[in-house]
Amino acid sequence: MEQHDEYPKYKGVRLRKWGKWVSEIRLPNSRERIWLGSYDMAEKAARAFDAAQFCLRGPHARFNFPESPPDIPGGQSLSPHEIQE
């Protein structure tokens, strides 16, 4: 089982009181958020955030894992609904 106290704080990720990690991202220049999902591990939630970050802000965005940024062909042309899927 994960030690929640030992995890670094990832951008776009938070821990629910029942133990699931959730991820969401805000649309650029908007208060609207895209729900990215619920995960068993903080790292999976953070990687979902990075994928959405890439789609919304491109390859030069700030990622949780800059050493291995996502590479999603055509990702920047996806709609918010498609990013959520």
3-9 average pLDDT score: 61
pLDDT of residue 1: 45
Q: Quick check: 5 pLDDT over 90? A: no
End-to-end Cα separation, the chain, in angstroms: 27
Q: Between the CA of residue 5 and those of 1, 15, 46, 52, 80, what are the distances in Å?
A: 12, 11, 16, 26, 32
| pLDDT tier, 25 (very low <50, low <70, confident <90, very high otherwise) | very high
Q: Quick check: 6 pLDDT over 80? A: no
Domains identified in the chain and CATH numbers: 13-57 (3.30.730.10)
What are the tens digits of pLDDT across the range 32-81?
999 999 999 999 999 999 999 999 999 999 999 999 989 888 888 888 88
